[in-house]
Structure 1
């Protein structure tokens, strides 16, 4: 398998809790309020409520003791390359147990354009002609392929020439076999397909459930990263995580968030004796 190149994050970290998964935890932080957006669940999907006009960050926590690569999709767009998101594209490489913050669309090795909650028509995806997946943040996570260890050939007994020639033949065959194994691509798994591995990039969305929020292309800010070599263990993602986002009121209307009931007792005209301060 050809080596893939990802990005090493060199960004701010946090110790706050996240939306837990097996390999990488995903969370969204409102950068203007400093608040982690609470995750709501309905019918197997995860939702967060964003505030229009607020900047936000995507937080990723590697829960494993090995490097992983996360291909980040925002509104169906790769947040590093700007292409329509596909798991086989480049992404962010996280070291063992590393937690990192992505504040925007990557513009260069040292700059991003801020993620900003906006009206869907003003989202970066819609303005570039790709509005189908506005309102969803996703990551496709890949484990790293371990290097193949080729043991050294056993020593050959060289007491005379004919024995040396007989012994060299099987040794050369073993070396050729080891070389073939090193060049062999990682297994893709039974039934792996391009579409099944990229649900957040390919899925159409119903108008009834279309988000009233998108992610705009905000002001630029400094965000330094470096490149590294990363070879995927498999061509199919080891984990796909999605968070859908919308306005608070629209999530209430969709039945995702339940409004609390104010008071459970019967109302009374004379519940108190005097008028308290507001």
Structure 2
């Protein structure tokens, strides 16, 4: 997988890395169409369940556990993924914006992005932690903790060259076939998208207990640069996954409380007794 650097001309030099409105619903479908995005708990090795609530996706984070963002290219061409965690670009450390650096995946390729890019060889591990201990919090940007975002860009593929079409000769003259066949003008690219909306992060009623992502130990993650030209200035797909502790998500009604389910599923029994007992004496 490769990482792309931002460019005003949208030519990117990239790094290549070797439901219901009120009830939480488990979302088994992929988070994206062009790119599938999942969250893996690296401390347990388990893929985190994704819960859908009011059109948004959520996962449960366990404080102290390391995690990775798993991205998979489901398209037939190369894709650029600009990844942000807590509103911070995971490659450059900048406050995240769609035109910035990102990772490039070949068709069918998948990769686990396990940390903040520190060099061409290492990343600093992602782990769930308090907002105060999070990388965003420690760099003075705690406003967007609790969210993972992926802006997906398709690659610009040059159109095939048009072959000259033979033209019938007119009376007393012949026309240059090549001059009569003009390739259509390329469509104008959409206006450049600004910074990712700060609304990607949903506020919590328990902001002081909300989770963020820490800057952990160094992990080996060699990479290299590649070139990538975006097909448009705006992302073809924007994927957002929110995360918080299980207690906070249950308190907000995003995922069901198993204790409430047990109580709600208890039905009165019209015949609570068993078989006929023996008489006394």
Fold match (TM-score > 0.5): yes
Residue aligning to 1:158: none
Cα distance change of structure 1 residues 26 and 203 upon mapping to structure 2, 3 Å threshold: closer
Matched, 1:66 2:74: no
Q: Note the 1:203-222 alignment, pairs <5 A.
A: 205-208=202-205, 210=207, 212-222=210-220
Count of residue correspondences: 244
User: What stretches of structure 1 of length at least 5 have no aligned partner?
Assistant: 11-16, 156-162, 272-278
CA distance in 2, matches of 1:204, 1:102: 20
Q: Is the 8 A contact 1:18 1:25 kept in 2?
A: no
User: What stretches of structure 2 of length at least 5 have no aligned partner?
Assistant: 1-8, 19-27, 167-172, 275-281
Residue aligning to 1:5: 13
CA distance in 1, matches of 2:97, 2:10: 17
Matched, 1:125 2:139: no
Match of 1:92 among 96, 99, 103: 103
Match of 1:75 among 74, 83, 86: 86
Q: Is the 8 A contact 1:8 1:225 kept in 2?
A: yes
CA distance in 2, matches of 1:209, 1:229: 43
SS of 2:136's partner is: helix
TM-score normalised according to structure 2 size: 0.77
Q: What value does the CA root-mean-square deviation take over the aligned residues?
A: 3.1
* Structure 1 residue 21, shift from structure 2 partner: 1.7
Q: Note the 1:1-278 alignment, pairs <5 A.
A: 1-10=9-18, 19-151=30-162, 171=179, 187-189=188-190, 192=191, 194-195=193-194, 198-199=196-197, 201=198, 205-208=202-205, 210=207, 212-260=210-258, 261-262=261-262, 264-265=266-267
SS of 1:252's partner is: helix
Cα distance change of structure 1 residues 134 and 146 upon mapping to structure 2, 3 Å threshold: same
* Structure 1 residue 100, shift from structure 2 partner: 0.7
CA distance in 1, matches of 2:144, 2:133: 14
CA distance in 2, matches of 1:48, 1:207: 15
CA distance in 1, matches of 2:223, 2:142: 29
TM-score normalised according to structure 1 size: 0.77
CA distance in 2, matches of 1:77, 1:243: 14
Deviations 1:157-199 (A, max 9, x none): xxxxxx99x969x75x98xx87x96xx7x6334xx5634x723
Larger relative helix fraction: 1
